[in-house]
């Protein structure tokens, strides 16, 4: 190297403070960046995180992770192979780019970073996933109530081994049949309404063993069907008994998988266990679906704030900052409803805008903000306000509480009403003084996961007699079940229950 170019290199490092220079990354640099990000995240934003485990993976491994719903390990099922085949074809043809990262709600919190990322992108990804998402997972009440991050990987490991053992013992086909049916009911396999019990997956496994031992010691012919030579009884006594049995089933029951697991007359023990596994996985992901907007908003805000602070402190170069901001801008693009690329609200865009807006309301409130958000307007400790929001809300309540008129104007939101019988769609409210509350409330409604999914409950079942199972779909606003997939799903339920199943639709 000549002296001239040495000097040029020095010029790039004013004071030699830059953490990295150029696109290449290595583990030492990543660690240095991590420490710098860590300092800002803890000292300035006050984030509280699980210990981090950052894993560098290749594109192929990223595809693997995609196909197993982002988890590092998963039980075997053909549908994951299907997902892999599809994603791979799309990726190879260049239709889709892969994510920069995947982060797993576990303790330690695992983030996958792609090896192809530049050092600037790794910085963004670490701030986004290892601090943003991580903080959200650890502190949001839904995750705290419903998931067991310390146990999930062990549980999945158990699930994987259990499914493999079943395949060996009972055949791949039989296991597949059961899992297919269970997967069809994944949407109806979560508890929505009761207060969550404290979940501990290791405890689950211990209880399972106990259950098996108990069953072996204490065999009861619970599902006996042949009436035998019992003397005939009076009709009302029989009715009373049937009512008693129904009470014992604790109907209605919203969690179909749970109900079938406990009460199906035909399933064998290993099949019940498979149902329980699918149900636990569904329950584990349920909070994620309810907090997608907030989670991404939190992570995007955290990476945006942190990389800007890194730049302010002279730790990253202008070039790196611009590269990061470029991909940041791509991520938070929101297309208008009539744009070809529109596919609903972009959770990154709306989530980030709302979190930024809350900070603005704290730091520089307008008169309107003071009227709408008296509790937080002008609060100086905006990081504390944000931490409180991230901890105690989900998408639906977050929007209902914090979507400001300013954002409604910025996104030019409008609320529409659509009746199937009406050839026209009606504009109900727009971004004006009369419309703000209405728009906000409608938008919040649309983020209520429970409302956007069919509400189907078991209302009647009898383990004796001809054993019909009756499901009730409680319709909201007259929306019926779609024909597509309905019969196939019912066939799956019929197979799990073993007897006739019907679904009735009732106006809610």
Please, which of residues 445-484 interact with other proteins by CB under 8 A?
Answer: 445-447, 452-454, 456, 473, 475-484
Q: Which is nearer to other proteins, 98 or 464 (CB)?
A: 98
Give CA–CA dist 318/53, Å, rounded: 28
Give CA–CA dist 469/500, Å, rounded: 6
Under 8 Å CB-to-CB from 119, ≥6 apart: which residues? 20, 22, 23, 24, 25, 29, 30, 33, 320
Q: Which of 335, 382, 495, 499 binds other proteins (CB under 8 A)?
A: 335
In the bound complex, what is the minimum distance in angstroms from residue 299's beta carbon to other proteins? Answer: 17
Q: Choose one: 212-220, 234-242, 313-321, 430-438; the region binding other proteins (CB under 8 A).
A: 430-438
Q: Which of 44, 215, 312, 432 binds other proteins (CB under 8 A)?
A: 432
Q: Which of 2, 5, 217, 343 binds other proteins (CB under 8 A)?
A: 343
Q: Which two tokens stand for residue 73?
A: 């390990």
Q: Which of 8, 14, 48, 115 binds other proteins (CB under 8 A)?
A: 115
Give me the long-range contacts of 473-478 (CB less than 8 A, separation at least 24).
473/503, 473/504, 473/505, 473/506, 474/506, 474/507, 474/508, 475/505, 475/506, 475/507, 475/508, 476/451, 476/508, 478/420, 478/507
Q: Which of 429, 458, 461, 496 binds other proteins (CB under 8 A)?
A: 429
Residues in 152-191 at the binding interface with other proteins, rule: CB under 8 A: 172, 176, 180, 183-188
Q: Note whether 375 and 402 are within 8 A (CB).
A: no
> Does residue 502 touch other proteins according to CB under 8 A?
no
Q: Which is nearer to other proteins, 151 or 435 (CB)?
A: 435
Q: Note whether 372 and 404 are within 8 A (CB).
A: yes
Give CA–CA dist 148/153, Å, rounded: 10
Give me the long-range contacts of 10-16 (CB less than 8 A, separation at least 24).
12/317, 14/314, 15/314
> Does residue 108 touch other proteins according to CB under 8 A?
yes
Q: Which of 417, 465, 500, 502 binds other proteins (CB under 8 A)?
A: 417
Give CA–CA dist 20/30, Å, rounded: 9
Q: Which two tokens stand for residue 367?
A: 């008169």
Residue 436 neighbours by CB distance under 10 Å: 21
Q: Note whether 172 and 179 are within 8 A (CB).
A: no
Q: Which of 86, 207, 250, 313 binds other proteins (CB under 8 A)?
A: 86
In the bound complex, what is the minimum distance in angstroms from residue 38's beta carbon to other proteins? Answer: 8
Q: Which is nearer to other proteins, 284 or 411 (CB)?
A: 411
Q: Which is nearer to other proteins, 8 or 427 (CB)?
A: 427
> Does residue 431 touch other proteins according to CB under 8 A?
yes
In the bound complex, what is the minimum distance in angstroms from residue 128's beta carbon to other proteins? Answer: 15
Under 8 Å CB-to-CB from 388, ≥6 apart: which residues? none
Q: Note whether 456 and 258 are within 8 A (CB).
A: no
> Does residue 485 touch other proteins according to CB under 8 A?
yes
Give CA–CA dist 452/447, Å, rounded: 8
Q: Choose one: 4-12, 276-284, 338-346, 365-373; the region binding other proteins (CB under 8 A).
A: 338-346
Residues in 5-34 at the binding interface with other proteins, rule: CB under 8 A: 27, 30-31, 34
Q: Which is nearer to other proteins, 96 or 225 (CB)?
A: 96
> Does residue 149 touch other proteins according to CB under 8 A?
no
> Does residue 428 touch other proteins according to CB under 8 A?
yes
> Does residue 95 touch other proteins according to CB under 8 A?
no
Q: Which is nearer to other proteins, 86 or 207 (CB)?
A: 86
């Amino acid at each position: 190297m000549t002296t001239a170019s040495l000097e040029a290199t020095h010029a790039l490092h004013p004071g030699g403070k830059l953490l990295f220079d150029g696109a290449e990354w290595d583990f030492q640099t990543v660690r240095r960046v991590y420490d710098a990000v860590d300092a800002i995240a803890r000292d300035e934003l006050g984030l509280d995180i699980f210990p981090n485990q950052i894993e560098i993976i290749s594109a192929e491994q990223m595809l693997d992770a995609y196909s197993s719903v982002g988890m590092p390990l998963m039980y075997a099922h053909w549908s994951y192979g299907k997902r892999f085949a599809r994603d791979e074809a799309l990726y190879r043809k260049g239709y889709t780019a892969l994510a920069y990262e995947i982060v797993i709600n576990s303790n330690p919190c695992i983030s996958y970073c792609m090896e192809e990322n530049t050092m600037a992108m790794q910085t963004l990804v670490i701030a986004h996933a290892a601090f943003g998402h991580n903080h959200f997972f650890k502190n949001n009440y839904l995750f705290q109530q419903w998931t067991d991050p310390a146990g999930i990987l062990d549980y999945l490991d158990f699930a994987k081994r259990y499914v493999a053992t079943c395949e060996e013992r009972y055949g791949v086909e039989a296991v597949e049949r059961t899992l297919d049916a269970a997967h069809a009911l994944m949407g109806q396999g979560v508890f929505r309404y009761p207060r969550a019990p404290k979940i501990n997956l290791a405890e689950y496994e211990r209880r399972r063993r106990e259950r098996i031992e108990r069953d072996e010691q204490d065999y009861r012919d619970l599902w006996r069907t042949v009436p035998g030579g019992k003397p005939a009884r009076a009709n009302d006594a029989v009715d009373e008994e049937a009512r008693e049995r129904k009470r014992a089933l604790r109907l209605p029951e919203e969690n179909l998988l749970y109900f079938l697991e406990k009460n199906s007359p035909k399933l064998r023990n290993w099949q019940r266990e498979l149902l329980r596994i699918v149900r636990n996985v569904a329950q584990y992901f349920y909070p994620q679906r309810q907090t997608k907007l907030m989670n991404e908003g939190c992570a995007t805000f955290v990476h945006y704030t942190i990389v800007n602070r890194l730049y302010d402190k002279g730790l990253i170069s202008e070039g790196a900052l611009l590269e990061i901001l470029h991909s940041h801008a791509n991520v938070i693009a929101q297309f208008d409803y009539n744009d070809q690329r529109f596919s609903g609200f972009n959770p990154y865009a709306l989530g980030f805008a709302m979190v930024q807006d809350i900070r603005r309301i704290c730091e520089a409130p307008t008169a309107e903000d003071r009227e709408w958000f008296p509790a937080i307007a002008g609060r100086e400790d905006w990081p504390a306000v944000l931490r409180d929001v991230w901890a105690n809300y989900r998408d639906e309540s977050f929007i209902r509480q914090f979507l400001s008129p300013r954002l409604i104007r910025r996104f030019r939101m409008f609320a529409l009403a659509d009746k199937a019988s009406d050839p026209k769609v009606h504009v109900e409210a727009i971004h004006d003084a009369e419309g703000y509350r209405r728009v906000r409330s409608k938008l919040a409604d649309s983020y209520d996961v429970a409302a956007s999914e069919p509400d189907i409950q078991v209302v009647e079942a009898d383990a004796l007699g001809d054993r019909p199972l009756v499901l009730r779909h409680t319709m909201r606003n007259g929306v019926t079940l779609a024909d597509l997939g309905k019969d196939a799903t019912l066939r799956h339920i019929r197979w799990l229950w073993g007897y006739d199943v019907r679904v009735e639709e009732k106006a809610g």
